[in-house]
């Protein structure tokens, strides 16, 4: 009896073991199948795309925030937010980001180099100069207009103390002397000496090509530039470390404005009288 009982127990244990193994194998297979399905239906996250290219706008003379917003199908408020503007004041030459705009990747231009940006700024000022002088001969502009245009092409040239070369840099009087020499007009080297040249011109009678002088203190000039119209002047600026165009109405220049001089030789092609006029 004991032998039969042992056999029965052994058979029962083997049966239970078989059932347990079968159940485990079935569960494992089900789990593997489930995992396989999960992998198949799991959405694949696409690689993060490049940010959309931003469209920019170069502010021109006469532009307003409202006009730019209307032309680019946005709002002045959105423009201010996209560009960190506190008000609606903008100025020519300023670059604005157009909010919500996208440009096809194929049409995106590479970032402009410093030289390219300077050329763009120069082209803008040249365009403004011509628009301010609509009566000027487009094919043969006056010497003073050509001198200022040559000056605009110097924008971005670095400031260098005692410099007088486009390659190595200019200081303020060096830039003036270099530009006038292109028109066979020999000016002294320093701003103090240049201040004694030509004839004195009142502030409200300035014309393109006149020299404007400033003093950090006293009655002797310490800085000089060339008037380019619209209350602006071209100069090699120490603080900016390059040739730039600045506004005469800015506080620093207003407080330090010393006077202006007109170099008559620069006006030779506008003041020459015909034989009939001389008689």
Query: Catalytic amino acids?
Result: 172, 223, 235
Buried b (16+ CB within 10 A) or exposed e, 72-81: bebebeebbe
DSSP 32: H
Residue 134 main-chain phi, psi, to 5 deg: -65, -20
Number of C-alpha atoms within 13 angstroms, CB side, residue 221? Answer: 24
Q: Identify whether the C-beta of residue 248 lies closer than 8 Å to the C-beta of residue 183.
A: no
Q: Identify whether the C-beta of residue 76 lies closer than 8 Å to the C-beta of residue 85.
A: no
- Going by C-alpha positions, the residue among 126, 201, 220, 143 that lies closest to residue 212 is 201
Residue 234 main-chain phi, psi, to 5 deg: -100, 135
DSSP helix/strand/coil, 11: helix
Q: Identify whether the C-beta of residue 211 lies closer than 8 Å to the C-beta of residue 198.
A: yes
């Amino acid at each position: 009896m004991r032998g039969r009982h042992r056999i029965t127990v052994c058979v029962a244990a083997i049966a239970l073991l078989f059932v347990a193994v079968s159940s485990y194998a079935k569960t494992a297979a089900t789990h593997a199948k489930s995992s396989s399905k999960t992998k198949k239906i799991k959405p694949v996250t696409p690689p993060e795309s490049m940010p959309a290219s931003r469209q920019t706008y170069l502010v021109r003379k006469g532009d307003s925030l409202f006009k730019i917003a209307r032309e680019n199908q946005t709002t002045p408020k959105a423009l201010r937010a996209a560009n960190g503007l506190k008000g609606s004041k903008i100025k020519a030459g300023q670059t604005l980001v157009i909010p919500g705009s996208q440009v096809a990747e194929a049409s995106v231009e590479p970032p402009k180099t410093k030289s390219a940006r300077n050329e763009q700024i120069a082209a803008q000022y040249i365009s403004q100069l011509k628009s301010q002088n609509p009566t000027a001969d487009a094919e043969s502009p006056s010497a003073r207009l050509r001198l200022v245009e040559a000056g605009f092409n110097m924008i971005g040239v670095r400031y260098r103390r005692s410099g007088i070369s486009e390659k190595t840099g200019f200081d303020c009087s060096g830039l003036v002397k270099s530009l006038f020499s292109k028109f066979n007009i020999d000016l002294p080297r320093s701003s103090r000496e240049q201040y004694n040249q030509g004839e004195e011109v009142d502030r409200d009678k300035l014309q393109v090509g006149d020299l404007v002088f400033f003093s950090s203190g006293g009655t002797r000039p310490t800085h000089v530039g060339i008037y380019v119209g619209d209350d602006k002047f071209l100069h090699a600026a120490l603080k900016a470390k390059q040739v730039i165009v600045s506004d005469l109405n800015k506080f620093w220049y207003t407080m330090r404005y010393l006077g202006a001089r007109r170099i008559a030789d620069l006006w030779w092609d506008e003041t020459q009288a015909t034989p009939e006029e001389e008689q």
